[in-house]
Chain A
Amino acid sequence: MENSFISIKDLYKTFKNKNGDVEVLKGINLELEKGDIYGVVGFSGAGKSTLIRCLNRLESPDSGVIRIGEHDITDLSKKDLNIHRQKIGMIFQHFNLFDSRTVYGNVAYPLEIAGFDKKYIKHRVEEILELVELTDKIYSQIGQLSGGQKQRVGIARALANKPDVLLSDEATSSLDPQTTLSVLDLLKDINRKLGLTIILITHELEVIKYSCNNMAVLENGLIVERGSVRDVFMNPQSETAKLFVKINAEFAANQWVKEGEYI
């Protein structure tokens, strides 16, 4: 697809350590459209975190090409990389907010880095906090917030500089089910309102089922299945996808069974 917004071609990554090399990504190819919410699911150690971290070069791939918009992310100087990173938002499992700053300070941070003036920063922070419904917490400290509120601040911080892409690295994995739903609703809302492309990695299939249009299943550093979420659910082809769908169905079917009886 020539008109895809993000394209990943033949991406390889090996981690070298004392006990030998571990090949984490073994030739990933992925295309995605602008404005899509794309989910990548995989069990622990499948390489999904490494994959998403290659997209903003928190990890440098050994070989392969990653194109976002017109730019090849793998071929940037450090300075250019920083400029591009300002247009790639990222949210994290453990939020990674700055305790030394208030909610306002956290959301203002990427704008300070980008060199905006104080007046614009104030305007933009207020605007974005309204979007994530945290206007009343603007001068709160991070330590005063609940998990869901922290992730909303994380999302606000990631969106402050009007990015083209939002990367979500297990962003709901440490939240309770109710909060997870509200955060996913927020992501869907943002996607609709701003037309933002979102890539979401998770080990929970429900998350993808609830929020994504298209998905890929990652296993051992390779994409073993991809397609619309609906197709993968209705007709899983690979063993891993079948297993994910089966686990998902069993959880749904057994939710009324008492804990002790469920194996």
Chain B
Amino acid sequence: MNLNNSSLFEVLKSAFGKDVWGIVAPAIKDTLYMTILTTIFTLFLGIVLGIILVVTDKHGIHPLPVFNKILGAIVNVLRSLPSMILIILTLPLSRLFIGKAYGPEACIFALVASCVPMFGRLVESSILDVTKGKIEAAKSMGTPNYYIVTKVLVPEALPSLVRAFTVAVIAIISITALAGSFGAGGLGDVAVRFGYSRFKTDMLIAAVFVLIVMVQLVQFIGDAVSKHIIKKRFLS
């Protein structure tokens, strides 16, 4: 059903009808599965990457300038590749590790490879906002470096880290949708395969609607958590 053979009202009605949701609902499940899995990897690896970038900076608490430059360069290379290209490039990796290059699991490599560098940089900038004075105070009390990270840098940067994480999750949702058109399945796949290729505008609308709801929900939760922490700390 599309706007050439039906009225706008009929298309909208069908977009929320049984036939369409019979296809969209399993796609939501796939998208959620990929998003959540990627989010877990990205959260963990991105925070580690961000911390390493800050700590090994030449003004950091454990300067390793050469290592930092190389790592920074790798991050920049990964970030400058469009997600679409990254998906193509990581397909052989998926084949190697999982044995297939299609399906939700296979695209996790691409999603992680493209989201971790982005989130890592966001984590880096959040942690860099922790004032130097606090780090010096921690040092003056004889804090070993790993405690500076776990007891000072991360807790102090928490509201900002939550916002960064929100941005990252939304990016993951959007890249997951993109990966759909490379055989990963999910809402992006439905939108492209049915909505675009077969002119089923109602399916396109349904898929986009779900994506919008997901993004709004993530943003709402992220904002609420960050604001809650700031309010609890009497920082505003």
The chain B residue sitting closest to A88, CB to CB, is B140
User: Does A92 interact with chain B (Cβ within 8 Å)?
Assistant: yes
Number of A residues whose C-beta is below 8 Å from B?
31
**Residues A98 and B142 in contact in the complex (CB < 8 Å), given A112-B151, A141-B233, A142-B233:** no
Kindly provide the distance from the CB of B126 to the nearest chain A CB, expressed in whole angstroms. 13
Closest A residue to B156 using CB positions: A100
* Cβ proximity bits A55-97 to B, threshold 8 Å, 1 near / 0 not: 0101000000000000000000000011111101110101011
Cα A58 to Cα B151 in complex, Å, equals 19
CA A83 to CA B144, docked complex, whole Å: 10
Q: B133-164: which residues lie under 8 A (CB-CB) from chain A? A: 133-134, 136-144, 147, 151-152, 155-156, 158
CA distance A144 to B234 in the complex (A): 6
Chain A residue with minimal CB distance to B134?
Answer: A96
- Check A82–B144 contact: CB distance below 8 A: yes
Contact of A143 among B131, B156, B233 (CB under 8 A): B233
Interface residues of B, dominant DSSP: helix
Q: Which A residue's beta carbon lies closest to that of B141? A: A110
Distance between Cα atoms of A25 and B235 in the complex (Å) = 38
For the complex, is A113 an interface residue (Cβ under 8 Å from B)?
yes
A79 to chain B, nearest CB (A): 8
B156–A92 CB distance below 8 A: no
B49 → A minimal CB distance (Å): 22
| A162 beta carbon closer than 8 Å to chain B | no
Map CB proximity to B onto A84-128 as digits: 1 under 8 Å, 0 otherwise: 111011101010111111000000011011100000000000000
Most buried by A among B136, B140, B158: B140
Enumerate chain B residues within 8 angstroms of A88, measured Cβ to Cβ.
140
B137 adjacent to A143 (CB under 8 Å): no
CB atoms of A98 and B134 under 8 A apart: yes
The answer for the CA separation of A94 and B134 in the assembled complex, in Å, is 9
State whether A141 and B142 are in contact (beta carbons under 8 Å apart), knowing that A98-B134, A100-B158 are contacts in the complex. no
Contact of A58 among B140, B147, B156, B158 (CB under 8 A): B140
Please tell me the number of chain B residues within 8 Å of chain A, measured between CB atoms. Answer: 22
B232 within 8 A of A: yes
* A96 close to B147 (CB less than 8 A): no
**CB distance A86 to B141 under 8 Å?**
yes
A181, chain B: closest CB distance, angstroms: 24
Report the minimal beta-carbon distance from A139 to chain B, rounded to whole angstroms.
Answer: 12
A96 contacts B136, C-beta separation under 8 Å:
yes
Q: How far is the CA of A114 from the CA of B159 in the complex (A)?
A: 28
Give the shortest distance, in Å, between A56 (CB) and chain B (any CB).
Answer: 5
> Taking the nearest CB of chain A, how far is it from the CB of B159, in angstroms?
9
Complex Cα distance, B142 from A56, in Å, reads 9
- Which residues in A have their C-beta under 8 angstroms from that of B156? 98-100
A86 and B142 contacting across the interface, CB-CB below 8 Å? yes
Q: Which residues of chain A come closer than 8 Å to B139, judged between CB atoms?
A: 58, 85
A99, B133: Cβ atoms under 8 Å? Answer: no
Are the CB atoms of B142 and A83 closer together than 8 Å? yes
